[in-house]
Structure 1
Amino acid sequence: METVINHHIKESDYRPTTTSPLSRGDFGSDFKWGVATAAYQIEGAVYEDGRSDCVWDVFARKKGKIRNGDHARHACDFYNKYEQDLELVKELGFEQFRFSLSWSRILPDGHGRVNQAGVDYYNRLIDKCIALDIEPWITLYHWDLPQILERAGGWKNRRIVEWFAEYAAVCANAFGDRVQHWIVLNEPMAVAGLGYTTGEHAPGNKGIHNFLPVVHHLALSQAEGGRVLRQLLPNARIGNAISCSQVIPNSQSAADIRAARRADALMNRLFIEPALGLGYPKDAFPFLSNIKRFMREGDREKLKFDFDFWGLQNYFSVVVQHSYLAPVMWLKEVPATLRNVPTTGLGWEISPSGMYEILKQFQQYKGVRELVITENGAAFKDKLKDGNVEDHGRQAYYHDYLDAVLKAKNDGVNITGYFAWTLLDNFEWAHGYSARFGLVYVDFKTQERTVKESGKWFAGFLKNQKWEPVSN
C-alpha cells in the first residue's frame, strides 16, 4: 500500500482519531489488565545486597552512550520503594504486574553461586503483590546480562544457552510456587540488533558478523528456557515477548515490496517462526541462510517450543524503501517525522491501525494459541505543573490503541490481555531520563511520584467507567 500523508500533528496536540467511548467491560470479564516494568529501568540499588555489574552498568559508564550522561544507579529506587509503588498499581486498578528479574542480582557470577539476598528481595516483591491481590508476571530476561558473562562472549558464546537454562531453573525453583505466568525473553531482536550489531545498546558491540550467532543463541535460549520452566513448573503459563510492527512498503515498486518483506522477516518473524518449527524466515531474507554455520545437529528441534502465549510489544508502524546504500539489508526506514504523520515525543508514528494489523498477522500462525499485548505505550514531553501532569496526548494514544485491540478481538483474534508500558517514568535505555513513558511522573531528584492525568483516566477505565478521552 502507498504511504498515507496526513497533516503534521505535534505530539502535544495529538487527539483521538476515534470518538467511540471505551470501557473495561467491552473486553470481557476474563481479559487481563496489567502494567509492565523492567528491573534495570526502575530498581536502582545497583551496588546493594550482592548484585554484580550487568552490561548496562558498564555501557552507561562509557562517555556518550547515554543521553545527558544519565545512568541507572538510582533510577526510580524501586528496589527500596517497591511497596509504595505496588500500592500505586493497586490504586490505578491494574490486577497484573509484569516485572523482570535481575540476573546479576540472583546469580552475580552469571551461574553457580546463588545470591540469597537477591532471591529474598524478589520473594518480598512477589509476596507484596499477592497481599495486594495483584498477580505477578515474571520476565526472566530483559536485557541486563551479567557483565561477567559478556566477558566470556555473552550472547555470541553458545554456552550462554546452558547458563540461561541454569538461571531459569534457579528462578523457577525460587519463585514458581507463587508465580503462574512467565515470560522467557523480552524483545530478543533488540538484543541482537541494537546490542550486538549497531552498538546503540549494551553491550555496545558492532558488526554484522555478530548478528547471526547472537540470533541463533537467543532463539535456542527462548526455547530452552521454556522447556526448563515447563519441566519444573508443569502448571505454569509460559510465554515469550517479541517486538513487532506493521511494515509498509513506501511504494508499490517491486524493490520496495521486497524491502518490506525483508524488514518484516527481521522485525516480526525472526524469533516466532523457529519456535513454531518453521525455521528461520530465509524465504524473505536470504542472508539468514548463513545461520547454518552456527547450527549443530539437532538444533532445528531444539529451537521449537510450544508457548502457551506470545507477548506482542507494539508501539508504531514502519515504512521502508529499497536502498542501495545499506548492504545486507538493502533497505532504509522512511522516518515518521518526514511523513507528516502523528508522532510521539520520540518521533515514533502513532499508528493504532498498525496495532490492529499486527494482531491479525500473528493470529494467522497455526501454532499460536493466545496473544497478549505485553507492552504498549508512548513517551511524551510531560511537564509537572501545580502538582499535575496534563498528558492529553497519552490519553488519546491509549484510547486509540485500545480501540484497535478491541476491534481485533471482536474480529476473532484470541487476545487475552493488555499491559501498559509503563508504571513509572524510568531509565529509558540510551535515551536516559529524557523519554517519559509512565502513567506516573517521577521527579528523579526527589523520587516523588505524581499520578498523571493519563493514569487517572486509566484508573477510571479499569473501574468500568466509559472512557471518553479529552478531544479539545
Structure 2
Amino acid sequence: MTHHSLDLKVLPKDFLWGVATAAYQIEGATWANGRGCSIWDTYCRTPGKVYEAHNGDVACDHYHRWEEDLDLMKELGIDSYRFSVAWPRIFPRGCGEVEPRGLDFYDRLVDGILRRGLVPMCTLYHWDLPQELEDRGGWPERDVADHFADYAETVLRRLGDRLPLIVTFNEPYCICFNGYYNGSQAPGRKNLRLTHHAAHTLNRAHVLAMDRIRAYAPGAKAGIVMNTTLALPATDRPEDRVAAELLMDWEDRLFLDPLFRGRYPESLYRHVPESMPEIREGDLDPVRGEPDFFGLNYYFPSYVVADPTRPIPLRLVDAPAGPRTAMGWCIVPSGLTELLLRLRDEYAIETFYITENGSAWNDVLEDGAVHDEERQKFLVDHLGAVIEAVKQGVDVRGYYAWSVYDNFEWTFGFAKRFGLYYTDYPTQRRIPKDSARLYKRIVEEHRTENLSQRC
C-alpha cells in the first residue's frame, strides 16, 4: 500500500474531508415516485452517445441503498458528503407541479447524513435538466433561470434549515460547452451562440438562486463549483501564450468575470460579438451573486496553441508525454496549486473547497480486493498540491474525493471507475479499494495531529 509523506498539520484543524457524488450518476430509480425525464435519460437513449448504450436507470441504486451508503461513508471516517438534488425529482416537468415524494427522499437523506455526524454539502444542479425545459429551448432560454430559482426555493424551504453548505451549479463550463457547443454531453447540441446564451442564463440563475438561499437558508454558506481550466501554452511562442489566456477567457472567465465583476471578457466581444448574449439590468450582480466559497474541481490541465483559422483563434492539443489516467487525462498535480493561486490572486477569492478530485484506472477485483496503486499515488500527490497552496496562504477549507464509489461515468457509462470503493454492478456490493483505506488513514492522521496539538 502507498505510504504518504503529507504535511497534514499545515491544513486547518476544521478541514473537511469528504467524498462527492451526483444524483444521476448514483441514484438509479429514474422512474420511481413521480420523477420526470431529464436530458440525461434522453441522451443515454440516443444511439451512439453513451458507451454500449449504458444509462443511469439503476446506476448504483443509491435511491434504495442510501442508508448503507451513508454507513459506508461513516466507516470511511470522513467529515462531509457532497451530493446533488435531482431537479426532475422535485419538478418532474421542470416547473409547475411539485412532486412531494422527491422532497421526501432528500429530506430523509439529509437527516441520515446529519444523524451520522456528517456535514452535508448540497449541489442544487449537477447536469440533470428536466427534459421538458430542454424541449422548450433549454439553458439558452432566459426563463430557465427563473424556473431554476423557483426549484431552488422549493428545495431550500424544505431542507435549508439543515444545510450548512450549498452549491448552486456544478461545472458551468460542462453544462454549456459540452451540452451546447461540442455536443459531447446532454443535450448534445452544437452552436456557439447557444453556448454563450446558455452561459448567460446560468450566470443569471446563479444570482437569482443566491437570493433564494439568503432568504430560505440564511445560516448556510453558499457558493458555486467550477472545473476552471488551467490553460497552458503548448510552446513558448508568444502567440500560444496569448491563446492560453484567451482560452481562460472563453472557458472560464465567461463565468468568473460575471460572478466577480458583473461583465463578460472583452476579448469575446472582439472575436465573436454576434454570439454574445443581451445583458439586461440586474442580470449580472456581483454583490447579490457573491459566493461565500468557491468550489474547485480539478483533474488535469489543458494545452493550447494559437489557430488563426478559427473564430476564437485557438486549438487544444494533446498534453506532452507523461503519465495518464484510464480517461487519457494527463496527471499534473502542481496544476492544482497553480490554479488555486491564480484564482485567489485574480479574483481575490477568500475561501476554497476542492469539491472534486480523483482518477479513473482499470481496476481489477481479485480475491475481494482492489490494489489501486496509481489512484493512491494520484490522491497523495494532489493532496500534496493542496497543502502546498495552503502553505502559500490559500484558504482551502476541505477536500472531496471523486468519488466514494464507482458509478455511471456519463458518456463512458460504467466502463470507467473513479471510486474509492469498487462497485460490483451485478450485486451492487461496494468493496473498499486500497485507496479507501489510505484515505481513511490520512483523515485519521490529520485528526490525531489536531488532538495532539490541542493537548
Fold shared, TM-score > 0.5 on shorter chain: yes
Q: Distance in 1 between matches of 2:399 and 2:379?
A: 11
Task: Select 1:330's aligned residue among 285, 310, 313.
Answer: 313
Task: Select 1:218's aligned residue among 198, 202, 206.
Answer: 202
In the alignment, is residue 308 of structure 1 matched against residue 289 of structure 2? no
In the alignment, is residue 457 of structure 1 matched against residue 431 of structure 2? no
In the alignment, is residue 124 of structure 1 matched against residue 108 of structure 2? yes
Q: Distance in 2 between matches of 1:375 and 1:347?
A: 18
Partner of 1:136: 120
Task: Select 1:231's aligned residue among 195, 209, 215.
Answer: 215
Contact kept, 8 Å, 2:297 with 2:357, in 1: the verdict is yes
* Post-superposition offset of 1:277: 2.0
Deviation string, structure 1 residues 55-97 (Cα, Å, up to 9, x no partner): 0001101110001111110000000011111111111111100
In the alignment, is residue 178 of structure 1 matched against residue 162 of structure 2? yes
Change (3 A) 1:293 1:239: closer
Relative to structure 2, which stretch is displaced further, 204-213 or 375-384? 204-213
In the alignment, is residue 420 of structure 1 matched against residue 404 of structure 2? no
Partner of 2:324: 343
* Post-superposition offset of 1:392: 0.4
Change (3 A) 1:288 1:276: farther
Q: Distance in 2 between matches of 1:450 and 1:435?
A: 16
Q: Distance in 2 between matches of 1:119 and 1:246?
A: 37
Contact kept, 8 Å, 1:276 with 1:367, in 2: the verdict is no
Q: Distance in 2 between matches of 1:401 and 1:288?
A: 36
Task: Select 1:244's aligned residue among 228, 236, 250.
Answer: 228
SS of corresponding position for 2:34: coil
Contact kept, 8 Å, 1:377 with 1:421, in 2: the verdict is yes
Q: Distance in 1 between matches of 2:295 and 2:12?
A: 19
* Post-superposition offset of 1:136: 0.9
- The percentage of counterpart residues that share the same residue type is 37
* Post-superposition offset of 1:269: 2.1
SS of corresponding position for 1:177: helix
Change (3 A) 1:228 1:437: same
Partner of 1:370: 351
SS of corresponding position for 1:374: strand
Q: Distance in 2 between matches of 1:152 and 1:284?
A: 27
SS of corresponding position for 1:256: helix
* Post-superposition offset of 1:52: 0.7
Q: Which has the higher contact order (CA 8 A, sep 6+)?
A: 1
Q: Distance in 2 between matches of 1:211 and 1:426?
A: 28
Change (3 A) 1:359 1:128: same
Unaligned runs of 5+ in 1: 1-14, 468-472
Contact kept, 8 Å, 1:182 with 1:239, in 2: the verdict is yes
RMSD (Å), alpha carbons: 2.0
Unaligned runs of 5+ in 2: 449-455
Amino acid at match of 2:210: G
SS of corresponding position for 1:434: coil
Amino acid at match of 1:385: E
Change (3 A) 1:193 1:277: same
Partner of 1:5: none
Contact kept, 8 Å, 2:8 with 2:387, in 1: the verdict is no
Q: Distance in 2 between matches of 1:65 and 1:292?
A: 28
Change (3 A) 1:275 1:288: farther
Count of residue pairs brought into register by the alignment: 448
Q: Distance in 1 between matches of 2:87 and 2:447?
A: 41
Partner of 2:54: 70
Partner of 2:281: 297
In the alignment, is residue 187 of structure 1 matched against residue 171 of structure 2? yes
Relative to structure 2, which stretch is displaced further, 308-317 or 272-281? 272-281
Change (3 A) 1:256 1:237: same
Change (3 A) 1:296 1:317: same
Partner of 1:12: none
Q: Distance in 1 between matches of 2:16 and 2:274?
A: 41
Change (3 A) 1:29 1:302: closer
* Post-superposition offset of 1:266: 2.7
Q: Distance in 1 between matches of 2:115 and 2:192?
A: 48
Q: How does 1:103-114 map to 2 (within 5 A)?
A: 103-114=87-98
Q: Distance in 2 between matches of 1:89 and 1:441?
A: 14
Amino acid at match of 1:309: F
Amino acid at match of 1:223: V
In the alignment, is residue 42 of structure 1 matched against residue 26 of structure 2? yes
Contact kept, 8 Å, 1:108 with 1:146, in 2: the verdict is yes
* Post-superposition offset of 1:424: 1.1
Partner of 1:61: 45
* Post-superposition offset of 1:23: 5.9
* Post-superposition offset of 1:367: 4.5
Q: Distance in 2 between matches of 1:378 and 1:408?
A: 20
Contact kept, 8 Å, 1:276 with 1:304, in 2: the verdict is no
Contact kept, 8 Å, 2:227 with 2:298, in 1: the verdict is yes
Partner of 1:439: 420
Partner of 1:394: 375
Amino acid at match of 1:358: L
Change (3 A) 1:41 1:20: closer
TM-score by length of 2: 0.94
